[in-house]
Structure 1
Amino acid sequence: MDRRTVLRATVAGGAAAFSGSLWAGAAVAAPAQPGPSPYGALRSADANGIQLPAGFTSRVIARSRRTVTGTSYVWHDAPDGGACFTAGTGWIYVSNSEITPGGGASAVRFNADGTIASAYRILSGTNQNCAGGATPWGTWLSCEEVSRGYVYETYPQGGTAAVRRDAMGRFKHEAAACDPDRRVIYLTEDESNGCLYRFRPTNWGSLADGTLEVLVAGSATSGPVTWARVPDPSGADTLTRNQVSGAKRFNGGEGCWYADGTCWFTTKGDNRVWAYDAVNQRIDLAYDAARVSGSAPLTGVDNITGARSGDLFVAEDGGNMEICVITPDEIVAPFLRITGQSSSEICGPAFSPDGTRFYFSSQRGTSGSSSGGITYEVRGPFRS
């Protein structure tokens, strides 16, 4: 069975359900290499300054410090990590705010036809909320990217106060990805000598308590790994990443995405996309800019999400402001490029529950300031 077959997916309620073994045979596969995009070449920039393949269009959903169209809600500064959730006949896009102090997260609710129904705050009074992850039970885990930061469980539908989840550890949190098969949540750490963690809730569906573990392995980029319990998740006396001897170090953990058997995560310090095979408990490289033949199409590796087709979409923090696609055939190519915003970064890539709309933000927009963030939607013939 080839990877195109095993990576087929359906997306619903902010989580992906894949059939087959996502990383079957990948232990001996080379990292992805440049090639022609399945979507074709990028066209000239549209009215929003975005270069897209033929058949795709973009629109602006929200701008920092301006009211969201059709609402009275003012969109937050520095939009960052995001995800989509089913909401009645429509859906919700959630976005973090990577500022200190203030931070938090907001939501935009869409009607079935894609028009905006409302926008509102779901988390306030936190710091540097960077990325996070959706849970299978419909909540959004918003992560503080500060030393000894927390994870907050938020409620995209609104009307329920966010809850700080202390048991998930205190460290420079970046992203989270839920693995419903093993009933664990993977967590990345944005430090140059950071770790990959997993949290085992005592009761799946509740994050009130559980066990925090760290990945243990040698220095190799592929091979078997194990997990060890973090003695003190609070990091009160010793930082979490320094509590377990042999914990594997990753250079700037960023995005994190789980799909049937594999946790994909990125490291910005060395421009890599990793794959943790949870079935066989091993890691491998899915992409490494240093191992690309010729010019690397993907640099500034950051947030990551998956599509119904099994394609991975990886956003750049810097680079040349692209979102690149990594296909099941191990081809990496640009999917879109934002022009005129070289002092920004792309954040929060996420598909609508039906897989037909794609959301992301330019954190600092054309101004290069956190007050200039722009959140977009792209529509077009996405692969299924």
Structure 2
Amino acid sequence: MTALTAMSLTDHELTRARRRFLKAGAATALALSPLGQLLAKAGGPHSGPSHPGYGRLRPVRDLTTGLPLLRLPEGFSYLSFGWAGEEMAGGAVCPDAHDGMGLVRAEGEVLTLVRNHEIVTGAGSFAPASATYDTRCAGGTVTLRFDAGAGRLLDMRPSLSGTLQNCAGGVTPWGSWLSCEEFVSDPGPVRLGGGEHTLARAHGYVFEVPAEGLSRAEPIVGMGRMRHEAATVYPRTGEVYLTEDQESGGASGFYRFIPKVRDDFLRGGRLQMLKAVGEPDLRTGQLVGRRLKVEWVEIEDPDRGFDSDGRPIGLQAQGYAGGASKFSRLEGCIAGDEVVYFVSTNGGDAACGQVWAYYPERAELVLIFEPSDPAVLDYPDNIVLSPRGGLVICQDSKGPRQHLYGLTAGGELFVFARNDVVLDGAMGFSGDYRGQEWAGCCFSPDGKWLFANVYRPGFSVAITGPWKQGLI
């Protein structure tokens, strides 16, 4: 592994570095919007990958196991770490279902990541009691420290558990992780993972996890009780933007939380749902590049997880009553300095995805990418801004192969990596995992490492190589 330039960052310097990182991604905002190169493409869906990216993919052996787990372009290498089944600090076993992840701290060459585990069972907490929300649930987060200079994992430890279906989330500017539950339930009997369980507490919340130590395991009620996906903090205002994933063919909402206190979400705030003026349903029939004016509908009761018919759409019912707009299955969400990007995993006329951009200062919403065929892009999920421009998009489709994509500053798509995991007893697993989703993509502050997760059997990778400006 190539050693990275040493970093020695105080908390203040780290905040400034994060701002520079966000600005580097946001510098592409005009090019990624109809105000830039996408204006020429307005009105039509995208018919195929349109950029060579980093070139043809080839099998590359993992520097940890020696196995060809991924396909990457020439010159790129990677190492796997944080596998399911490995022992963590304190003796607990690392769970599987590796989902959303974010980098929350950089101290010299030591990088701290927090990773979600989307467990949907009642098997019990894997974290200490003080970081456990509901003792009858087994979802949560694991905190990992990675040595960027040596290219190795230093340690991993549980930091939150007793939660359910921790799917995506997002980092805060002050160095913590927002972990989002994608399961709404009241206390009492519920069916989880094919079995009947009795929950001690209500679920469907967001929890904050610090870079050091343990989470307080206290739900941020003000961010609502719903099928949460991702969360991202808009750096200019401290507002939190949240996506919702209603999987069963229903509609989903896009939300904004305005905190009373910028860095203390437990103090409460206002929750709102996006309304595109004149467009009540954004799931289909949209034009790439068209600008939509946005208003926000107040959610009066953010803790109302169910509607009057007992369906887990209590927030939606409030929002739609005020004219809020419908999206199809919202997933990843990431904020730059001037724009918030989010994706609909199966939206669009071809039902294989949409990439949206919301501009808070102008209160405008723009569809910036919509594929016309699943062979182009199918079911985009987690996303992250690259410091070199463009977006990294994780794939979670029903297809036999899953990819990491790059979307350039000019709105051109290319394939960057492919899941090629087939195991025969290695790391305690056997089977063909090539259809398992990518998740948790995030960059080191200097941009030399791209981190991502393979959902099952469950491990993280750190990818490095000859990165190029304007790509990812």
Interval of TM-score (by shorter of Structure 1 and Structure 2): 0.7 to 0.9
**What runs of 5+ residues in structure 2 fail to find an aligned partner?**
1-15, 62-66, 121-136, 186-203, 308-313, 348-352, 422-432
Task: Identify the match of residue 361 of structure 1 among 429, 453, 456.
Answer: 453
Using structure 1 for the length normalisation, give the TM-score.
0.88
Deviations along 1:173-217, one digit per CA (max 9) or x if unpaired, are: 000011021321100000130100010001111102100010012
Question: Cα distance 1:159–1:195, how it changes in 2: closer, same or farther (>3 A)?
Answer: closer
**What runs of 5+ residues in structure 1 fail to find an aligned partner?**
1-9, 365-371
Using structure 2 for the length normalisation, give the TM-score.
0.72
Which segment is superposed worse, 253-262 or 337-346? 337-346
1:11·1:307 contact (CA, 8 Å) conserved in 2? no
Q: Could you say which residue in structure 2 is the equivalent of 1:104?
A: 140
Task: Identify the match of residue 321 of structure 1 among 402, 415, 430.
Answer: 402
Paired letter, 1:169? G
Q: Could you say which residue in structure 2 is the equivalent of 1:368?
A: none
1:256·1:265 contact (CA, 8 Å) conserved in 2? yes
Q: Could you say which residue in structure 2 is the equivalent of 1:206?
A: 264
Residues paired across the two proteins, number: 364
Q: Could you say which residue in structure 1 is the equivalent of 2:82?
A: 62
What is the CA-CA distance between 1:121 and the residue it aligns to? 0.9
Structure 1 CA distance for aligned equivalents of residues 182 and 215 of structure 2: 23
1:242 correspondence with 2:317? yes
Structure 2 CA distance for aligned equivalents of residues 11 and 354 of structure 1: 9
Structure 1 CA distance for aligned equivalents of residues 323 and 55 of structure 2: 44
2:112·2:146 contact (CA, 8 Å) conserved in 1? yes
Percent identity between the two aligned chains: 32
2:82·2:156 contact (CA, 8 Å) conserved in 1? no
Task: Describe how 1:105-124 pairs up with structure 2 within 5 A.
Answer: 105-113=141-149, 114-124=151-161
Task: Describe how 1:156-195 pairs up with structure 2 within 5 A.
Answer: 156-159=211-214, 161-191=216-246, 192-195=250-253
Q: Could you say which residue in structure 2 is the equivalent of 1:308?
A: 387
- Partner-residue secondary structure (3-state), 2:82: strand
Q: Could you say which residue in structure 2 is the equivalent of 1:383?
A: 468
2:173·2:235 contact (CA, 8 Å) conserved in 1? yes
Structure 2 CA distance for aligned equivalents of residues 163 and 179 of structure 1: 22
Deviations along 1:330-370, one digit per CA (max 9) or x if unpaired, are: 11010101124233111111111221111111112xxxxxx
What is the CA-CA distance between 1:85 and the residue it aligns to? 2.2
Q: Could you say which residue in structure 2 is the equivalent of 1:4?
A: none
Q: Could you say which residue in structure 2 is the equivalent of 1:298?
A: 377
Alpha-carbon RMSD: 2.4
Paired letter, 2:328? N
- Partner-residue secondary structure (3-state), 1:157: coil
What is the CA-CA distance between 1:236 and the residue it aligns to? 5.1
What is the CA-CA distance between 1:160 and the residue it aligns to? 5.1
Q: Could you say which residue in structure 2 is the equivalent of 1:339?
A: 420
Task: Describe how 1:18-167 pairs up with structure 2 within 5 A.
Answer: 18=24, 20=27, 22-23=29-30, 26=34, 28-30=39-41, 34-46=49-61, 47-67=67-87, 74-89=93-108, 90-100=110-120, 101-113=137-149, 114-147=151-184, 149-159=204-214, 161-167=216-222
Question: Cα distance 1:36–1:273, how it changes in 2: closer, same or farther (>3 A)?
Answer: same
Task: Describe how 1:275-290 pairs up with structure 2 within 5 A.
Answer: 275-290=357-372
- Partner-residue secondary structure (3-state), 2:316: helix
1:91·1:111 contact (CA, 8 Å) conserved in 2? yes
- Partner-residue secondary structure (3-state), 1:44: strand
Larger radius of gyration: 2
Deviations along 1:288-347, one digit per CA (max 9) or x if unpaired, are: 122x6xx74321211101110122000100343100000001110101011242331111
What is the CA-CA distance between 1:104 and the residue it aligns to? 0.3
Structure 2 CA distance for aligned equivalents of residues 15 and 21 of structure 1: 12
Task: Identify the match of residue 261 of structure 1 among 306, 315, 338.
Answer: 338
- Partner-residue secondary structure (3-state), 1:87: strand
